[in-house]
Amino acid sequence: MRNHPLYPVGLTVVLALSGCGGTAATTGGMPWSGSDRQSGLVSSDSSQVPGPRRLFEDHVPLAMTLMADFQALRNDRGQESEERPGRVFLGGLAGDASYPVQVRTRGRFRLNRHICDFPPLRLNFPTDSVSGSVLHGTDKVKMVTHCRDNNTYEQYVLEEYLAYRIYGILTEIGFRVQLALVTYRDVRGEERDVSRLAFLIEDDEAVAERLGGEVTGAEQANPDHFDPQQAGTMYLFQYLIGNTDWSIARFHNMKAIRIGRVYHPIPFDFDFSGFVNPSYAGPSPVVARYITNVRERLYWGVCSNQIDYAGLFSHFNGKREAILDLITSQPGLTGRNRHLATTYVESFFEVITDEREADFRIVQSCRRMGGT
């Protein structure tokens, strides 16, 4: 595995993953800040980690090698691509744990070979083979990859990962994510190894199980049928990250989960947001008459007299420092990208702390039922 730019030359990251009663620890490499250690995300004493680690339970990056036929996967650009056999090695090829996996490409826009040389992936693990490991209970899991093998596109991965983390600060009703340093090894040996950051996304069925709910099978919905404060939280979050590439009515980049008798929206795919601002992103034709680039914010929430905006603004303001600290303390983010992300988020809080601006740009700018 070649040295990754996040890690000092000569050091590798090894994740100690054992079976029942094992512990998880990092050795070397990631330049964790003091605040990470104090928050408990990274412990200098691995004996403090209780029992075997599980995906999505902490934010320590996972080290893994994925071995598969990447020549074939690069050519799998259709919506019905086949699953191809592969193997996951935890802690790298030198690790003592490896698991069979079926790998297939996924997505839509990023499946376009002119946009992404390396497609997003979905991993499907035989559940009986991962028992007692970090993958315990994992079935299907999405992997957000680097798209192109350069540092700029890797920054996009980190920023989209942070968008999911920000939503997790605001609400538990969302997808959890797991950052990973992945080495991709072609089984044919005809391509060089590539080591890049990626992140795994919790499966929607796993979210439903965690929250004691169920995923709905509907393909569209009336926005008024969702819990108003949860919908409002989602609307305001999308405004925070500058994202209009979603629909709560047509379930575009959106899932719906029912907890009891209440429906909740769960958003995903944030790469077309101003927060990430990738070179390939631009406003969709639907919003192009309002904004000229994705860094311009446009409130895309649906009008509802049941949303308590004052309460939402107070909730978001209460999470302001946690969100900014998350960006500040993220290892691997460049100084430039950290500054851009911080100033972009701060500009959101300037709006919601100004009563007149918040009313004009958000409350009065909601969408009527026609264009949801």
Interacting residues of 359 by C-beta distance below 8 A, sequence separation 6+: none
- The dihedral built from the CA positions of residue 261, 226, 174 and 348, taken in this order, carries a sign that is negative
**pLDDT tier at 95, thresholds 50, 70, 90:** low
What's the average model confidence in pLDDT over 198-208?
95
The percentage of the chain sitting over the pLDDT mark of 90, rounded to a whole number, equals 69
Q: By the 8 A CB rule, do 124 and 83 touch?
A: yes
In sequence order, what DSSP letters do the residues of 257-273 get, joined into one string? EEETTEEEEEE---TTS
Instruction: Enter the tokens of residue 340.
Output: 């851009």
Supply the mean pLDDT for the chain. 85
What's the average model confidence in pLDDT over 157-180?
98
The 262-267 sheet, strands edge to edge: 214-215, 254-259, 262-267
Picking from 30-39, 95-104, 115-124, 199-208, which range would have the lowest pLDDT averaged per residue? 30-39
**pLDDT tier at 217, thresholds 50, 70, 90:** confident
* Higher-scoring residue by pLDDT: 299, 284: 299
Q: Quote the pLDDT of residue 135.
A: 85
Picking from 2-6, 45-49, 188-192, which range would have the lowest pLDDT averaged per residue? 45-49
Complete domains list, the chain, with CATH: 14-207 (no CATH), 213-371 (1.10.1070)
- The dihedral built from the CA positions of residue 85, 90, 94 and 97, taken in this order, carries a sign that is negative
pLDDT at 347 over 50: yes
pLDDT at 39 over 80: no
Backbone angles phi, psi at 311, to 5 degrees: -65, -40
What's the average model confidence in pLDDT over 97-123?
91
